[in-house]
Structures are given as C-alpha cells and as structure tokens.
Amino acid sequence: MSQSRRVLVVGGGGREHALAWKLARDGAEVLVAPGNAGTALVAENVAVAADDIPALVALARGRSVDLTVVGPEAPLVAGIVDAFTAAGLRIFGPTAAAAQLEGSKIFCKQILHRGDVPTAMYREFRSAAAARTYLESREEAPVVIKADGLAAGKGVFVCDDRAAAVAALATLASDPQFAAAAGGIRVEERLDGVEVSVMAITDGRTIVTLPALQDHKAAHDGDSGPNTGGMGAYCPTPFVDEALMAEIEARILVPTVHAMRRAKVPFHGVLYAGLMLTAQGPKVLEFNARFGDPECEALLVRLDSSLLELLDAATDRRLDSIAPPVWRDGASVTVVMAAEGYPGPVEKGRPIRGLDAAATIDGVTVFHAATRRDGEAVVTSGGRVLAVTAVAESLARAKLLAYTGVRPIRWPGGWCRKDIADKGLSREWELLAVEPATTGDGA
Ligand code: AMP
Ligand code: GLY
C-alpha cells in the first residue's frame, strides 16, 4: 500500500477550501491552518493562524508535512517561504523578495519596466496639490487616481475627465480615511477594455499557464458599487482565445519571469496577472503572487489532472519535465455569497441554512470562504461567506447550475450578484453572430 502524502494548506478562505478539496481528491492527506467549517469536511483543521510563521514551521515539522501550499499574500510577503526553506521544509510559493511583485507597487513597476511589459503610464506625486497642478498643466484625458498603500481597491478612483480627477484628489486630501495615504498619490493613464485574470504556475524558468478567467470586482450587478475582493468568477473566459493567450505569455508572463530572474529575485509559485484587454493589446493592471480568490475555486473544479503533481514539480524546479495539466471540457462559474454590509463591516455568527440541500445538486460544490462551526450549526464569520461553484458542459449551464446551488442557501442578510458570467455569455453570442450565408451571385 502506498503511503499518502501529507500536505499543509495555509489560509482559511474559499481559495484554501478549493485547494484542500482538490489536493484531497489527488490522494493527499490535507491539513489546513486555520481553515473553516468547509475545509473541515475534506481535511483536518489545525488552529494556527495563517500569519504565525514560527507556529506553522513547528506544525509542518511536528506533523511531517512534506509540502506546504500558501493561499493568501500576507504570509508570503512576510517571508513564510524563506522561513520554511531555511528550516529544510518544502513549500510552494515565492520568497518575500519575490512576493514584492504584489506587495510593492514600486518594485512591480521596476520589473514591468525591465521586462518591457505593457502597462499603464503613470506619474507619482507627494501631495494632492502637486497632482492637481500636473493634471491642470496637461491635456484632459481619462485617468485613475490611486492613493498609495491601500489594499482591495480602496483609494482607487477611475475618472472620466479632469473635473472627476480633481474631485477625487480633493477627497483624498480631506477624507480622514485616506490621511495616511494622501502623501503618495499616483495619476495613472486609464486603460479601457475588458478585465481578465490569467494565472501561471512557474518554477522560475518554465511557466504552465492556466485557463483565463474573469473576476467580478464590483459589489453589485452591472459592475456598479464599491470594489471588493471579488464577487464571482467563471472559467474559461471567451475574451481570451488561443492567439491572445499566446500573446499574453510572450509579452507579459515570460518577460516578467525572466525579469525577476535577471533581477536576482526568481519567482516561484503562482504568478497572477490582472490584465486589461485594450485596443493596443493586453496590459498589466496588477500582479499578485498567489492564486486569485474566487478565481481559484472556478479553476480547480475544472482541473482533471493532479494539482499535487503540478505543485510538486514547481516546488522541485522540474516543471519542464511533466505533462501539461488536463482541463475538463465546458465551463465553471463561482458565485460568492456575502454577508450584509460587505465590503464594509459585517455582523458575524449568523447560522447558515441549506448547505446540505445545495451539496446534493450534481455538479455543484459549495466552497466555504468565511464560516465556522458553532455546535451543530455552520455560522458566518466574515464578509465573503461562501463561493458556490458549478461545473457543466457550457457556460450557460454552469451559470444556471451555480445559481441553483445558491437558491436553497439562506441566512439573514446574505446576498450575491445575480449576473456572474453574463459578460462571458454576451461575448459567446457575439462570437456566434455570423453573417447569414449569401445566396446566389449577388447580381
Ligand atoms: P487596483 O487596486 O490597483 O488593482 O485597482 C482596482 C481596480 O481599479 C482594478 O481592478 C481596475 O478595475 C481598476 N483600475 C485600476 N487601475 C486602472 C487603470 N489604469 N485603468 C483602468 N482601470 C483601472
Ligand atoms: N480576485 C482577485 C484577487 O484574488 O486578487
């Protein structure tokens, strides 16, 4: 009998539930730190926080874990990979220096520049007043105003004209919630087009590109309302065809991996490119150093081959020696169910009903993003609570199935966007809309 592998997943959200779910299907014995009520169904939860690096090292040692996979960016930026490697433990992810690609906007722009990777032009200013003087001295154009050092799209103002930009600068200068960030202001060229997410697994040399997805960052239907961590995703997105994917690899992913290596900060792990598909081609909005959430959930339900083998090969720097991953035909859709008030403050501890009914629907998997067990009940424990995911033979069917999964689930104040995947469905129609065949000779 072959002994099963022991894998530790660090984190406690929907992405980590999907990772644990898939690794368990691949035959691994999975530990999750700290996990949630959902990960407990497929793995063993261990009560260690995702940012307690010494305790995680001790856990991996004590339980003879032979591969650790890190979900969120915070422990990566804090050096979890460096600490594990120093302790002689195998871990999948970038070092703290390489995770700066996500953690530091300045480092990211340096790498983009070095690799000659297409991105938005920008200027940086020390004060709102200096940024305003600049805006008034140049020709009017749509811009994005960004306050430095704020996460999750807070302090990002996408502006149509100079008046809107000047108003955004006034908000940054006067609103106390931006006080800390108002000293570093970036005026960026506004990129217009469709936003997509492309992730690649890399060992620092070879890249394995994963199917493209589309996230839904705005809180409400029709991409309205405040920016969030992501309200839903679908995979693959018809906005990226084979030719465009080849261009994204050649102009963005490969040059970035090479630029990192030349800068002596080789990148290992998941390179996540947030892209705008502009009339001039794909351009980078941001890089992340990890799997996207909820992208990871929509992605992994379509992965038929072993994730464990892929992560093993990347960790051992032999990605060039393995067969490409096998993806299930059709499409997947993930709908995030959120607590009342999200992305602002939310009340926790609300009991969730209907999870069992949703779980019985063929093709539906309910990943838990912020839940915990309270006696017999599963209760909410954060803003993005569940990531209801469906896989089917078509995008239309996957959407229908995902919302069929949402339907029986209830808690006071729970809500979701109703239009996840609609942009992809419209695009499919657009691509199908062929000219009627001409008859006769036209005479
Ligand atoms: P960020 O926090 O920088 O990732 O920005 C949050 C969101 O703002 C992105 O997901 C985009 O939708 C939008 N955004 C950021 N930068 C730009 C840009 N240069 N042009 C257009 N939209 C942008
Ligand atoms: N869904 C976007 C992210 O994970 O950053």
Provide the residue ranges of all domains of the chain, joining segments of one domain with +: 6-97, 121-189, 194-428
Whole-number Å distance, alpha carbon 217 to ligand 1 midpoint, is 10
Residues 6+ apart with CB under 8 A from 250: none
Number of H helices, E strands in the chain: 16, 22
Cβ neighbours, 10 Å, residue 325: 18
* Neighbouring-strand partners of residue 8: 31, 68
pLDDT, one tens digit per residue, over 97-116 is 999 999 888 899 899 999 99
230 lines ligand 2 (CB under 6 A): yes
Atom number, ligand 1, closest to the C-alpha of residue 152: 2
Answer yes or no: same fold for 121-189 and 194-428: no
Q: Choose among 273, 326, 323, 335: nearest CA to 304.
A: 326
CB 26 within 8 A of CB 306: yes
> For residue 155, what pLDDT is reported?
76
Residues 6+ apart with CB under 8 A from 259: 111, 112, 114, 115, 117
pTM summary value: 0.94
Give, in order, the Cα–Cα distances in Å from 132 to each of 163, 174, 251, 300, 359.
10, 14, 33, 45, 54
Whole-number Å distance, alpha carbon 133 to ligand 2 midpoint, is 34
Q: Choose among 430, 423, 364: nearest CA to 397.
A: 364
292 lines ligand 2 (CB under 6 A): yes
Q: Rounded distance, CA 414 to CA 342, Å?
A: 10
Q: Choose among 72, 132, 136: nearest CA to 102.
A: 72
Instruction: Report which bound ligand comes closest to the CA of 155.
Output: 1
Q: Class of 121-189 per CATH?
A: alpha beta
Scored b (16 or more CB within 10 A) or e, 241-263 reads eeebbeebeebbbbbbbbbbeeb
From the candidate CATH numbers 1.20.1050.10, 3.30.470.20, 3.40.630.30, 3.40.50.1820, the one assigned to the domain spanning 194-428: 3.30.470.20
Please give the chain's pLDDT, 443 residues, in tens: 456 899 999 999 999 999 999 999 999 999 999 999 999 999 999 999 999 999 999 999 999 999 999 999 999 999 999 999 999 999 999 999 999 999 888 899 899 999 999 999 999 898 889 999 999 998 888 999 988 765 555 678 889 999 999 999 998 888 877 776 656 888 999 999 999 999 999 999 999 999 999 999 999 999 999 889 999 999 999 999 999 999 999 999 999 999 999 999 999 999 999 999 999 999 999 999 999 999 999 999 999 999 999 999 999 999 999 999 999 999 999 999 999 999 999 999 999 999 999 999 999 999 999 999 999 999 999 999 999 999 999 999 999 999 999 999 999 999 999 999 999 999 999 998 866 666 655 54
Whole-number Å distance, alpha carbon 292 to ligand 2 midpoint, is 4
Q: Class of 6-97 per CATH?
A: alpha beta
